Structure 1
Amino acid sequence: MVTVFEAAGGDAGMLRLAHAWHERVMADEVVSHAFSHGFRDDHSVRLAAYWGEALGGPATYTDAYGDESTVVRMHSGNGPHEEMDRRAVACFDQALTDIGLADDDRLYAVLHDYFSWATTVAMTKYHASAADVPTDLSIPRWSWDGLVAD
């Protein structure tokens, strides 16, 4: 069986998805606020590497950019933001449609479930302070059956 990463088009598919999501997010009046302080020029490339690693692809993000602790810290210390999270997930779902990944019901469902979980669970655990994030987190893996236990 192929990984979710492979089914979504591998590195190229993840990059298309990251670009489409970022475009949707920047057009959303609520979610774009998260980027109001600016963002790296290679944001989509880094995001694609992160998603790829989480979805069964190579450890490109960990090897080149950082670890889960670094990612979670970037998303921490901003307080709860349920509406922003809900809209970020909606942007992701629309990005899946934009690049043709919504045509496969099973793939669409697993990608939606992954992003929804990552947005509303993994990235919100430390909303009070980035200083609370442990230093030894590794990128959670997601398969066709959901979160992969360690």
Structure 2
Amino acid sequence: MKSVYEAAGGSDGLLRLAAAWHARVMADEIVGHAFSHGFHPQHTERLAAYWAEALGGPTTYSDTHGDETSVVRMHSGNGPHEEMDHRAIACFDDALQDVGLTSEPLRTVLHDYFAWATTTTMSRYHESADDVPEGLTIPRWSWDGPQR
């Protein structure tokens, strides 16, 4: 059986998805606010590499950009933002449609992964990025959900 990474089109497929998601969030007045301070020039490529690693692909993100601790710290210390999270998930669902990742069960698995990551790991430390522990590894997700 293919990994979720392979079923999503590998690195190229996830790069298309990351670009579509980024375009949608930048156009959203609520989610776009998260990027108002600026973002890395290779944000889309880095996001695609992160998703690839989480979904069973190569460890490019961890090997070259950082670990889960660094990613979670980027998303921490901003207080609760449930509306933003829900809108980011809606943008992701629309981006899946934009790039044609609509066949089941792939669409549902990708949605479930993104919704889980957005509402758990990326929003766990509302008070301060300093609360994020060292040494976190990128959580892995498969057809059956989070892997232990």
After the TM superposition, which residues 24-63 of structure 1 pair with which residues of structure 2 at under 5 Å, given as runs? 24-63=24-63
Match of 2:92 in 1: 92
| Structure 1: 4+ residue segments shifted above 2 A | none
Pairwise CA distance, 1:105:
1.7
Match of 1:113 in 2: 112
After the TM superposition, which residues 62-81 of structure 1 pair with which residues of structure 2 at under 5 Å, given as runs? 62-81=62-81
Give aligned pairs, total.
148
Q: TM-score, normalised by structure 1?
A: 0.98
Q: Distance in 2 between matches of 1:74 and 1:41?
A: 15
Task: Summarize deviations over 1:4-41 as a string: whole Å, max 9, x none.
Answer: 00000000001000000000000001000000001111
Task: Summarize deviations over 1:102-146 as a string: whole Å, max 9, x none.
Answer: 1x1200000000000000011111111000000110000000000
Q: CA RMSD in A?
A: 0.4
Q: Distance in 2 between matches of 1:136 and 1:11?
A: 25
Seq. identity, %: 69
3-state SS of 1:123 partner: helix
Q: TM-score, normalised by structure 2?
A: 0.99
Task: Summarize deviations over 1:53-89 as a string: whole Å, max 9, x none.
Answer: 0000000000010000000000000000000000000
Q: Distance in 2 between matches of 1:122 and 1:2?
A: 25
Match of 2:124 in 1: 125
1:143 and 2:142 matched: yes
Q: Distance in 2 between matches of 1:147 and 1:120?
A: 14
